[in-house]
Amino acid sequence: MKIKLKKSKMAKILLFIGVILSCSFGSAYAAVNMEPINAFFNRGVSFVLNGEQWQPKDQAGKPMAPINYKGTNYLPVRALAEALKIPIDYDTANQKIYIGGKPAGQTPIFAMPIEIDNIYAVLSKDAKETLVNGKQYKQVLKIEQYGDVIVTLNRKYKRLVLDGAVIEPGEHEVEFSLYNAADTAGNTADTILEKHSVSPEDKVKTMIFDVTGLDKIKIHVQSPNLNPYIYARILDTSYFDSGESAANGSK
């Protein structure tokens, strides 16, 4: 019985010390980085975004009101960034907010949430099919008539750096076209935002697409002359990043 009491007492002491340390660190952080202010929720303000009424909401979907401080209205940066379709990330450890996406990050295209037309476009890791114009890759998307690749971005990236190729016996130029595939795209979903071409002579061509502010995209691959077989490949060296947007260029 005495042992149990001692253990119980020790647990309470450790818990008490933990609470004190937690409060101390919290107080120290607040003392250095936070300053108290007198502010008010301004519930009389309404918002018009691109000509339409807009209500800022938190991550749980609850309506938010701006905070008025010394005559200026303030909104949480996430609500505003999402409304303006600007990528936003928060680094909790370093207390840093990235507006417009984190720099230098690259995400391989096949690591993204993607939907593929499985009739004419197929992902392959077969060594014979991943050997493209003399170079061995780990994975490719092979397209042998036409194909659509739909990728969910959630506005986190600015560029798609796409490596494409035409292999034997393909003898025709192939077009890679970018579309807005978001549910809210409406009639604009049929509009080509950007288009690049790859010919058999290119071997492997790097194409850079501007995907800034897009939730979901579609890459449509097809011959401009509607030839039945195109023998095109999207390579696993393709990726998304937050680098400088450009119409053409290399990695």
Backbone angles phi, psi at 5, to 5 degrees: -65, -40
CA 13 → CA 5, 6, 138, 181, distances in Å?
Answer: 12, 10, 56, 58
CATH number of 106-241: 2.60.120.1060
DSSP category for residue 66: P
The vertex-107 CA angle with 206 and 201, nearest 5°, equals 15
Of 153, 147, 157, nearest in space to 122 by CA: 147
Q: Where are the domains of the chain?
A: 1-34, 40-84, 106-241
The Cα 87–Cα 248 span in angstroms is: 23
Residue range 108-141, pLDDT digits in tens: 999 999 999 878 899 999 999 999 999 999 999 9
- What's residue 104's pLDDT? 53
How distant is the alpha carbon of residue 118 from its chain centre?
Answer: 24
Residue 67 β-bridge partners: 41, 74
- Whether the pTM exceeds 0.85: the reply is no
Residue 49 β-bridge partners: 52
Residue range 139-170, pLDDT digits in tens: 999 998 889 999 999 888 889 999 999 999 88
DSSP category for residue 20: H
